[in-house]
Structure 1
Amino acid sequence: MSISPSSPPSSSYLSLSNPNPMSHQSRAVCATELSWCRAVPGGTGITVLALLFSKPPDLPFLQSALRRLQSSHPILNSKLRFDSSSYVTSQSPYLQIRPIDAQSTAQILQSHSSIPPLQSILEHELNNNSWQDPDPSSDADLFLASLYHLEGSLWVLALRIHTSVCDRAAAAALMSELVALMEGNRAESVEESQEMEVSLGIEDCIPAGVGSKPFWARGVDMLGYSLNSFRLANLSFSDTDSPRQSRIVRMRMNAEDTGRILSRCNSNEIKLSAALAAAALIACHASKKFPGEQWEKYAVVTLTDCRSALDPVLSSHHMGFYHSAILHTHDIKGGEDLWELAKRVHSSFMNLKNKNKHFTDMADLNFLMCKAIENPSLTPSSSLRTSLVSVFEDAIFDPPNKLKEALGFEDFIGCASVHGVGPSVAAFDTIRDGKLDCAFVYPFPLFSREQMNEFVDGIKEILLKGIA
């Protein structure tokens, strides 16, 4: 990449002069997108949606539906040009579903025999990094699809997307639009979300004056972030030397417990993300079994969808990366009450958000992220860990659909990889049919599967005790 993380973002499209509407269009990546372009080769920022079916899918029908989505969203129909750090829109949808036969799928499942097949395929896709060794002379696809044949009539459709063009909200919208197309309807959301060109990056859409920060204030904040990072505690590392992969632990709750948790969140005027983060802080401190009250400082990164605050305002179906991060720290000594701590976490995040920190500190955090990638030794044990946990401000509420009867749609998981730079664990929470379904993604073997299973079990136990 030839652009530094501190370079000013492009404020216009770099369109070709050819007036032919079928000609290629391109634009330079913005600073936030560039930080993801640097993170993905190392293993962080591979977004995967994995869908499980109990009936053989119609491959031409699926491919047609996915290509219609590409036509509706040019950013998904673009390729990444490494030598100029730009997105180049293809003349026509390029996605080609790659079929994986039962024998090849069985070989993948053998290495993950202790977990369900859907999760095995998901982990395989999270670590299938087609952007790891980019060829500067060629353009890289940003949207890929594979269809895995499990035993019998079970199939998994895996969509793998470069996170710089698809954040969590975009992934949820993509899923809902795909479901609408597979149900046989041209959904209004698909019609309304059709974009004529590759959309601007987030920096180009921040309202005037909102993201500005005086030079000296930026310097002080950067110094503060850097110094505080050396004081942050984390989960105990298991293996800091071996090559890393992303793995997941799935936490699910029934409708009754989920309803009670959401009810307690509402009564305390907080969001589910704060409760998840608080439970993670308590579980991490408890896992160390300190003999007395010993304080540790932990960092939480809360990701917020900025679409509604941008100029112009973007809909939830607008593809691209429009999330921003707010980093906040909390001192934990053990014995904290879940809901009191959750209120502290929520209050800390909201105070910073009300000060527009998600805009003013965007460049700072992007710069530090790139510096950590270039200099892993700046992080504890060269682990590249930037916080204990990352959560999303708002949960995804997944409405019921008719695919179960029509196509045998059984289950799905959506998340992104974190085994490069990132948190120790990233929580991707969904409320599906009134039930909490949360995928916790972590770097392995920096943390072992047994260690992370215990950690997530601790989070669930703390949440259940909080509603007892």
Structure 2
Amino acid sequence: MSDDDSNLLRPVGGTEFSWCKAVPVGTGITVLALSLSKPPDISYLQNTLHRFQTSQPILNSYIHFNPTTKSFSYIRRPNPDLQIQPFDLQSTAQILHELQKDPQNDAVTPFQLILEHELNRNSWRDPNDDANVFFASLYYLSEAQWVLALRLHTSVCDRAAAAALLRGLLREMSGGGERERGFEGNGEVSLGIEEIIPKGKANKPFWVRGVDMVGYSLNSFRLSNLEFVEPNSPRQSRVVRLQMNSFHTENLLTGCTSRGIKVCAALAAAGLIAAHSSKKLPQDHKEKYAVVTLTDCRSILEPPLSNNNLGFYHSAILNTHDVTGRDTLWELATKSYKSYANAKNSNKHFTDMSDLNFLMCKAIENPSLTPSSAMRTAFMSVFEDPIIDQTDELQQEICLEDYIGCASAHGVGPSIAVFDTIRGGSLDCTMVYPSPLHSREQIQDLIDRMKNILVDACVSVDV
């Protein structure tokens, strides 16, 4: 099919192009996994997803690569054709049996193993194949547990859009769809983020852009990383969770508010301190780490968008931080948040967008540009704001026991990608990492250190 076909939605934008390059190597597969204690009505669920595809046509598209122009486009399917792929008890057991052969998976729950399995099902490995952007599967774990997994190309569904999709799906599954259809769109596809940045916000003199590009490139070799366990083997994305109870979460949020910072800064600071301490370095030994902070730009674009506008509308700011063994959580969190806020106030989330996209693509094409050819662009990525989940009643109605939403990160990206949600007043962070570049034992140790640092700091929230 040619790019000028009548079903062409639009060519991909610059940020979307970087995701089209990243997903084939393993970064940018968004998954929503729902653990259910009763089986969903597959027919009703499939009709619901088809309706979503009709009102949100980008969900009913595939990504087409033009080898002549080396460009990508979203092409609309004539009709919604998503089919939920069912895995019966025997098929699911076979998948779990293969995954459990890995000793690192001994203590991992079947639900999380299915999530990781979906994160590594790459339908977009070959850019020449016209693969849909949206897939759904239903796994039969036992007589009392099913897992519904939605898998999407990140270029059409960032974290904010995935959260909106989840809310819309929960309403439909609970029978509330007729009362409140908040997710469905207007049948149109929004432009790429670069085309709706407010006028003048992305301007950067040519010579400044050149200096920044050189700076980003040179600094990458001066940055510290977690130790790489196995840099040469094929990689996959794995997950470790950091969960805090409502008491500690409330104290953490209070501590952030009292200091005029956000929880992302506390998470990043805890990660930096934990990384330094995990290496058992002298306290005064200084290391420089990079943190990428992602911010949802929908509300500040022209025209403004809602979370129901599917696509990738986040931008990134990369900051570096010097860390020693004497740093405390609140001091480092305040310092790191100030660096991020200053950069955002200077519009670096817009002015540096094309630079970071270019470097991301260069790291994919030339892994040797990164330490140990690991394609690690930062130690950690965090989101400026957590997802606030207020769907407890809907979850109870449909017997939703647990859910996780995140994206793969084993191609180009950070060593730890943090997807944080506050559910029922409790912080729940999904940490995605590349394996076996890092081991589950190594990351679990780091997460345990992070949690201890956060909990200890929450004992007292005085400024």
On whether the aligned pair clears a TM of 0.5, the verdict is yes
Query: In structure 1, what is the equivalent of residue 260 of structure 2?
Result: 269
Query: Aligned with 2:131: secondary structure?
Result: strand
Q: Which residue of 1 aligns with 2:119?
A: 126
Which residue does 2:292 correspond to in 1? 301
- Counterpart CA distance in 2 for 1:436 and 1:15 is 47
Distance in 2 (alpha carbons) for counterparts of 1:24 and 1:223 = 41
Residue 103 of structure 2 corresponds to: none
Task: Give the residue type in structure 1 aligned to 2:85.
Answer: R
Answer yes or no: is 1:33 the counterpart of 2:16. Answer: yes
Q: 2:37 aligns with which of 47, 54, 78?
A: 54
Q: Which residue of the partner structure matches residue 213 of structure 1?
A: 204
Cα separation, partners in 2 of 1:187 and 1:47, compared to 1, 3 Å: farther
Q: Is the 8 A contact 2:378 2:414 kept in 1?
A: yes
Are the aligned partners of 1:170 and 1:319 in contact in 2 as well (CA < 8 Å)?
yes
Amino acid aligned to 1:396: I
What residue number does 2:214 align with? 223
Which of the residues 158, 167, 171 maps onto 1:176?
A: 167
Residue 336 of structure 1 is matched in structure 2 by 327
Looking at structure 2, the residues matched to 466 and 419 of structure 1 have their Cα atoms a distance apart, in angstroms, of 31
1:95 aligns with 2:82: yes
Residues 112-169 of structure 1, C-alpha deviations (whole Å, 9 max, x = no match): 34211111100000011111123x2x52100000000001121000000000100000
CA distance in 2, matches of 1:140, 1:238: 33
Letter in 2 for 1:379: T
| Structure 1 residue 267, shift from structure 2 partner | 0.7
CA distance in 1, matches of 2:321, 2:45: 46
Compute the displacement of 1:187 (Å).
6.4
Q: Distance in 2 between matches of 1:178 and 1:244?
A: 31
Any residues of structure 2 matched to 1:127-166 within 5 Å, and which? 127-134=120-127, 136=128, 138-166=129-157
Structure 1 residue corresponding to 2:371, chosen from 372, 375, 380 = 380
What is aligned with 1:432?
423
Of 362, 367, 371, the residue aligned with 2:358 is: 367
Cα 1:65–1:80 shift into 2, 3 Å? same
Matches within 5 A, 1:99-118: 99-110=86-97, 111-112=99-100, 113-118=106-111
Determine helix, strand or coil for the equivalent of 2:392. coil
Deviation at 1:422, TM superposition (A): 0.1
Pick from 309, 320, 330 the counterpart of residue 318 of structure 1. 309
Q: What is the aligned partner in structure 2 of residue 446 from structure 1?
A: 437
1:238–1:448: 8 Å Cα contact kept in structure 2? yes
Q: Which runs of 5+ in 1 are unaligned?
A: 1-13, 17-22
| CA contact 2:388–2:423 (8 Å) conserved in 1 | yes
**What CA distance in whole angstroms lies between the structure 2 residues aligned with 1:101 and 1:299?**
44
Show CA shifts across 1:446-467 (max 9, x none).
Answer: 0111001000000000000101
CA distance in 2, matches of 1:40, 1:336: 36
Shift of 1:192: 7.0
Deviations 1:213-270 (A, max 9, x none): 1111100110111111111001111111111010000111111111111111111111
**Separation of aligned partners in 1, 2:365 and 2:109:** 36
Distance 1:169 1:249, change over 3 A: same
Would you say the 8 A contact 1:89–1:198 is kept in 2? no
CA displacement at 1:183 relative to structure 2: 1.7
RMSD: 1.5
**What TM-score, normalized to structure 1?**
0.93
Pairing 1:392–2:383 present:
yes
Pair 404,350 (structure 1): closer, same or farther in 2 beyond 3 Å = closer
Summarize deviations over 1:277-306 as a string: whole Å, max 9, x none.
Answer: 000000000011113411110000000001
1:191, distance to aligned residue in structure 2 (A)? 5.0
Aligned counterpart, 2:52: 69
SS at match of 1:317: coil
Deviation, structure 1 residue 24? 2.1
Task: Give the distance between the partners of 2:116 and 2:180, measured in 1 at CA.
Answer: 30
Moved more, 107-116 or 256-265: 107-116
Instruction: State the shift of 1:405 in Å.
Output: 4.1
Q: Which amino acid aligns with 1:99?
A: P
Letter of the structure 1 residue corresponding to residue 366 of structure 2: N
Please give the TM-score of this superposition, normalised by the length of structure 2.
0.94
Which residues of structure 2 form unaligned runs of 5+? 101-105
Instruction: Judge conservation of contact 1:72–1:190 (CA < 8 Å) in 2.
Output: no
In the aligned structure 1, how far is the partner of 2:182 from the partner of 2:445?
45
The alignment partner of 1:85 has SS state of strand
**Residue identity in the other structure for 2:367:** P
Deviation at 1:318, TM superposition (A): 1.2
Match of 1:80 in 2: 63
Please state whether the residue corresponding to 2:150 is helix, strand or coil. Answer: strand
Runs of 4+ in 1 over 6 A off after TM superposition: none
Deviations 1:18-53 (Å, cap 9, x if unpaired)? xxxxx6242111110000000000000000000000
